[in-house]
Structure 1
Amino acid sequence: MKTEIFVHSTYAHLRDFISQIPKDFSTLGDEIYVGRNDVHLVNVNGIVLAIKYFKRLTLANRYIFSTVRKSKASRAFEYSEVLIQKGITTPEPVAYINCYKYGMLYQSYYVSLYTDYLPMMELFQLPVSESEIALKAFSRFIYIVHKNGVFHNDLTIQNVLYSVTGNQYDFSLIDNNRMRFRSYSFKRGMDNLSRLALPVETIGIIAAEYAREAAVSDVRTLNAMIFSKWRYQIRMSLKRWLKKPLHLLPHRYRHSSDIIRKETNIVVR
């Protein structure tokens, strides 16, 4: 198995530890998230690291990330560096690891510094009357991100963290492996915000503040956000429909197809 390891020069002294991550990951530190990807927190000589393991790689992903595209871990590292250069807060990148077997990507890990910023989800669960200041601050943050030519392709409230001191909010982007860097336009900003699954009253506050920052009509901004959100939901529904060809099969054939699909998933993983 071939292993590619890149460590930021600031953390070169951690290279020996980082090189052991593929072998020891399951027993390292504290497991704080289990799902499509796993995340562990590890304290190494007083430095707290967040290690993300991109564990669900399809056969197509393994091939693509070995040939025509960089791995998720590589992109997370590089894009985080770009964000920091642009003055956008994100956990500091430390290293990435790509493991290859038979010429194809087998395992992928991204290492960053741990951040004590809080999940944005907490703010959105508060009554609007209590969260309005935070929502406006969030909208200003996203506008600055967009004006810097950064469009997070997985912009959800799960991928934004926050900290607060008094009434001053700061925000941090995470899960940075899916991003586009392009010139700003109002339409691109609205399309990017369409990924936020929020109630209408919350969208209204965010739209009004974004409009103020962008110097455009708040009515135009709200309408654009709602339209972009509707179009995004239609596109996602169509994508899910196309991924489920079983609806075309007679009912009696679906069970066997499910079995085949499950077996295929087991092999691919």
Structure 2
Amino acid sequence: MTSTLSLRSTVKLLDGNAMPVLGLGVALNEDPAPAVLAALKHGYRQIDSARHYKNEAPLGKAIRESGVPRDQVFVTSKVFESEHGYEATLQAVQDSLHNFGFDYLDLFLIHSPRSGKAKRLETYKALLHAKKAGKLKSIGVSNYSPKHIEEIREAGLELPAVNQIELHPFCQQQPIVDYCRAHNIAVQAFSPLVRGKLDDPAITSTSTKYAKTPAQIVLRWSLQRGFVPLPKSANSVRVVANAQVFDFEIAQEDMERLDALDRGKAGAITWNPVDAE
């Protein structure tokens, strides 16, 4: 039940591994240390990065400096389309491990499907190889539509454990979510705070009703919808506040008001390349 969730709660992935229900996003933050140290100090146990963000090395350093044991922090990175392909992906994984200073990563994603079917599958097979070698605990995809995941299934390969997509009340991507749920693929929500564009009356009135910030309302909505939100902030105070979403529950009628904000793909505020060929 969502009412029993806490910051230490986890989602069981289809490969048997456990992923925390909330994480810190560090997209394009060249100095993630302050936010990461605040997050880990206040109970976060998942950090989401990517090779494209160019902050793996300082992120790994901050995790070591935090004093939290490595095996208690769920760390994600992603391979961008410019490095797709079998050999290039194997090298990217190795380079990421070197950057982080880690022996393994908890989750490694294909950052987008924009490299085309052949390279998508080569890249995925490389991630499977790295997983078998113990370098990656879990593997997954990002910005994938059902069509892209079906390519994996039709190739006879194990399904991704995670699909990370843009998700918030204005962009709910229901067909992708429904597909992932039908196949037991965990759904991570990036840009869950809509880059701060939270002045819609449905959100602000709900914020007033529950005496919570608009950001806390949309994060709680995400949790209650069964997603794993990855709020991004470089502000340590906001990092802490974004985790204060486990001491209340949004009532069904208020969840329905937030659900009604969905604008489909038109509600996306980022690149959202889910329709890539």
Alignment TM class, shorter chain as reference: under 0.3
Name the structure where strand makes up a greater proportion of residues: 1
Question: In terms of Rg, which structure is larger?
Answer: 1
Q: TM-score, normalised by structure 2?
A: 0.24
Name the structure where helix makes up a greater proportion of residues: 1
